[in-house]
Every structure is written in C-alpha cells, then in structure tokens.
Structure 1
Amino acid sequence: MKQAIVARADLGMSRGKLAAQVAHASLSAYEDADRKARTEWKGSGQKKVVLKANGEEELFRLADDAERQGLPHAVIRDAGHTQLDPGTVTCLAVGPGRDDLVDQVTGDLSLY
C-alpha cells in the first residue's frame, strides 16, 4: 500500500509551502479512502512518495486516471493567503492504494 502525492513543479513554491500542500493532499485523499484501505495503509507504515508534475492540466489528467482506477484521490487548491493566488491547483494525492494500482497512475513521474 502507498500514496503518491504529485506536486506542481512549475509554481516555484517554497519548501514550506510545498510541505503544507503535500500534507493537505495526503490527508484529503486518506479521508476519501474506504475504511479497509485506511486501516491497511496505516498498519503498513503509511508509505508515501512525492512526485513532480509540470502543470494543472497534468494533475487533472492524473486525477481522471485515478478515478478510472477506483483509487481515492484529492486535488488541492490553495486558499491564497500567502504565495499563490486563491484557487491555484497545487497538488494531487493518489491513494492509499495497492502499489501496483497507484503506479499505473503515477509510475512514469519523477521524484520531487
């Protein structure tokens, strides 16, 4: 079991901003998962990987792929209180889910 968080590399977010957005995405997708997936993922160490995307369009394409796979997922939009304009799409989390299913959606992406 794992979760992949895909963050936009084209926004130039600071490390702190990136960390906050990744945390929002992880928690939101976890809440989207069913009880069995949440329990199994938590019991297996909550494996996560953070990956790069180059734009909003890529995040939405990946979100559509996750939806088709039946994987929990969450697209994060920034509130606009600090570095980004309100509503800016920053991250997508896919999973928790089986490694092979998450990899079918995000396996071609580079590490952040």
Structure 2
Amino acid sequence: MVQTNVSQLATVGLVLFVTGYYLHQYLSKPQPRRTKARSSSTASGASSDITTDASSESEESEDEGIDVDSRPLNEVPGEVRMTLIVRQDLKMGKGKAAAQCLHATLALYKKITNPESEAYNPEMVQRWEYGNGQAKITLQVPNQEEMDTLFAQAISLGINSYIVHDAGRTQIAAGSATVLGLGPAPKAVIDEITSNLKLY
C-alpha cells in the first residue's frame, strides 16, 4: 500500500514537473510586436526603428538603437567602459532610473555579443569584462534634445548606442526616452562626447 502511494506521488510529481517545464517554455516565447513606427535622428540623419510592445506586461521599457560596427575602436588603447546617461527633466525616482539603466546595459550587452548583429565585437567585450571589471558610469543630461545629439555623435564615432523608451506603466509617459546607453567602448572615445556631463 505504501509502495503504491509513493509510486503514485512520484508519477504525479513527474507529470507536474514536465507540465511546468513546457508551460514555462511556452510563456517565455517573445510576444508579437503590435505597432512599429519609423523615427529619425535629426542630428545625424540616421534613422532607427522604435517598436512598441503593448502585449508584454513583463517588459518595463522599449528601445531604440542602431547596430554599428565598433571593431575599428579595438585599436584604441586604454580602459573600456559603458556609459549610461539619464535624462533629468523626467524627474525619475532613483529606483526607476536604476531600472532604466539596467535595461540599457542589458540591451547593449546583447547587441555586442550577438554574432548575427553588426554590433558584434567579442574583443571589445573581453576588454570590458576582464580588463577593468565591466566598468560603468552614470551621467546626466538635461533633456531629450541633448540626449539625441549625444546619440548621433556616438553613432558617428562608431560607439554602439541604445536609447531606452519607457512603456509608461509607472512614473512617466509611455514612449519617453529615459536613458542613453553607450558602449562598451574605449573611455577615451566616449569622453569625446561626454566629458562635459555631470555624474548622475
């Protein structure tokens, strides 16, 4: 009798495990994109796609980015860092700003480590990860106009860049550009466009 109960419990446990695994796989698939708008950066003439995913409740932010080939920057010596530039006019709380910086960090890392992306640069990633401990710095910018200018300058210098757009579920309006992420790239190159910005 006890043997039968243990056998039945093991069978039920196995069925629940397998069901949970496949349910997780199904729910983890990317949700379909609903709208797509074309945006252009006036400072550089470069254009990018901004995609809004209204169906994904787990996603806090949307993004804007152009994949650039940063391999020529591998020749620039020195420290490699990632720079996160936070808009001040939105008056985000510290937690909100931190979350937006994390979105930018992850997006930049995914771009530069994706072999199918034009941004793929494993040498730069290795310098950033092992050369100086994945250095990151947060700076501030007063408004979106200046953020767009920095974005255009970064693209022109071959620095991978990423603008996070908020989904609008908490503190600020949907679609607001919150954080500009730059890099990983040599500090000397990033400093060409960010040296006059204050720390966040």
Is the TM-score greater than 0.5?
Answer: yes
Give the TM-score, by structure 1 length: 0.95
| 8 Å contact from structure 1 (residues 29, 94) kept in 2 | yes
Counting matched residue pairs gives 112
Unmatched runs of 5 consecutive residues or more in structure 1:
none
Q: CA deviation at 1:30?
A: 2.1
Give 2:125's aligned amino acid: R
Q: CA deviation at 1:36?
A: 1.6
Q: Within 1, Cα distance between the matches of 2:179 and 2:170? A: 16
Aligned to 1:88: 176
- Runs (4+) of structure 1 exceeding 4 A deviation are none
Aligned to 1:6: 85
Query: Counterpart of 1:49 in 2: which secondary structure?
Result: strand
Q: CA deviation at 1:47?
A: 0.6
Give 2:185's aligned amino acid: G
1:63 aligns with 2:147: no
CA-atom RMSD in angstroms: 1.0
More helix by share: 1
Q: Could you say which structure has the greater relative contact order, defined with CA pairs below 8 angstroms and 6 or more residues apart? A: 1
Give the TM-score, by structure 2 length: 0.54
What do residues 3-40 of structure 1 show as CA deviations (whole Å, max 9, x unaligned)? 11000011110111010001111111222332221222
| 8 Å contact from structure 1 (residues 32, 73) kept in 2 | no
- Identity over aligned pairs, percent: 34
Unmatched runs of 5 consecutive residues or more in structure 2:
1-79, 113-120
